[in-house]
Amino acid sequence: MESTGDSFPVLDMAKLAAGDERPQAMALLRDACENWGFFELVNHGVSLELMDEVERLTKAHYVERREEKFRDFAREALATKRPDELAEVDWESTFFLRHLPVSDVSYTPGMDDDYKAAMGEFGKAVEKLAETMLELMDENLGLEKGYLKAAFRGSEGLPTLGTKVSSYPPCSRPELVKGLRAHTDAGGVILLFQDDQVSGLQLLKDGRWVDVPPMKHAIVVNLGDQLEVITNGKYKSVLHRVVAQIDGNRMSIASFYNPGADAVIYPAPALVKANEEEEEEEEKEIEMYPKFVFEDYMKLYIEKKFEAKEPRFKAMKAMETLNAHPISTT
């Protein structure tokens, strides 16, 4: 499908839920998934009061617990690193929380009880929203309802859900260092609550970096490598980066709804079949995505996050062949 426009896709969840405008909203979602890999949600059902609370507590946490350490790191980096070394640095202050399969929020050091409670609640809200998005994608892809959610379940019957809490403090040399270097996300659905004042997030579209516009109380969604594999390339994970800013401290709270560690990931057979039918007339060049265990992909991703995804898919494909024909050791 042709892209319906050049403006960043903004979707109204109320319209996706029901009513006369639902078909158009679903078409917009389909276009966003196929041609952008990114979109912004309004009326998403996450409590706006909770978002305000999370923002207030996150900004306070940076000032109280992280700012000094970041300033030391920043001073040292600018004073001692060569430009080629700075190109390998991310100008961000970050910590991680896990929500699923087991939450570690209450054990995370350096968080007050009210911050822990707010982040625990936020984790539940984004879990629900991610699952709603997966169901809407099932529908758009012609998969049975619940297919994608089930594909993300590991043996414990759960996905992995974690939140990366980040601040991108002001940077005096944004021409030398990125807030976060370009990458695609490894996992499934990523829900991002970003600062509504300070911009910086960009995605690569048709060879050009496009801003993801800050919008108060909106949630940005992007698709990771696993959805690209499961949809057999119908949806694509898209390169994105954060540009460091001279002024302002950008907050970003990114929740990663990913497969369970031992979930087996592979293209949905219904979508492989659809592709084969479509391409029958053409030269037989069907993109063959691999089948693998999610944690094996993550091991590779941790080493190669800032490299292209295609060699990662190729490496998993090679591993699949190796597993199918194990070398005899007896």
Residue 186 sits in the site that holds ligand AKG (CB under 6 A)? no
Pick between residue 245 and residue 252 the one whose CB is nearest to ligand AKG: 252
Q: How far is the CB of 304 from Fe ion (least distance, A)?
A: 14
3 state DSSP class of 12: strand
Residue 166 sits in the site that holds ligand AKG (CB under 6 A)? yes
| Count of residues engaged in binding ligand AKG, rule: CB under 6 A | 11
Residue from the set 81, 164, 304, 317 that interacts with ligand AKG by CB under 6 A:
164
Residue from the set 53, 185, 225, 228 that interacts with ligand AKG by CB under 6 A:
185
Backbone dihedral angles phi then psi of residue 34, each to the nearest 5 degrees: -85, -30
At 229, list the tokens. 């594999």
- Alpha-carbon distance values, 126 to 90, 113, 216, 237, 273 (Å): 26, 20, 17, 19, 32
Alpha-carbon span 244 to 183, nearest angstrom: 15
Find the residue with minimal CB distance to Fe ion.
185
List beta partners, residue 192: 220, 254
At 71, list the tokens. 């300033």
Q: Which among Fe ion, ligand AKG, none contacts residue 192 (Cβ within 5 to 8 A by kind)?
A: ligand AKG
Backbone dihedral angles phi then psi of residue 315, each to the nearest 5 degrees: -65, -40
Pick between residue 53 and residue 195 the one whose CB is nearest to Fe ion: 195
Q: Which among ligand AKG, Fe ion, none contacts residue 252 (Cβ within 5 to 8 A by kind)?
A: ligand AKG
Pick between residue 147 and residue 256 the one whose CB is nearest to Fe ion: 256
Pick between residue 16 and residue 97 the one whose CB is nearest to ligand AKG: 97
List beta partners, residue 209: 204
Residue 160 sits in the site that holds ligand AKG (CB under 6 A)? no
Could you give the string, one character per residue 194-233, with x where binding to ligand AKG holds by CB under 6 A and - elsewhere? x------x--------------------------------
HSE of 107, CA atoms in CB hemisphere, 13 A? 5
Single-letter amino acid code for the residue at 18: A
> Is the Cβ–Cβ distance between 252 and 166 less than 8 Å?
yes
Q: How far is the CB of 231 from ligand AKG (least distance, A)?
A: 20
**DSSP secondary structure letters along 186-243:** SSSEEEEEE-SS---EEEEETTEEEE----TT-EEEEE-HHHHHHTTTSS----EEE-
Residue 192 sits in the site that holds ligand AKG (CB under 6 A)? yes
Residue 185 sits in the site that holds Fe ion (CB under 5 A)? yes
Q: Which of residues 254-273 bind ligand AKG (CB under 6 A)?
A: 254
Question: Which residues would be at the binding site for ligand AKG (CB under 6 A)?
Answer: 164, 166, 180, 185, 192, 194, 201, 240, 242, 252, 254
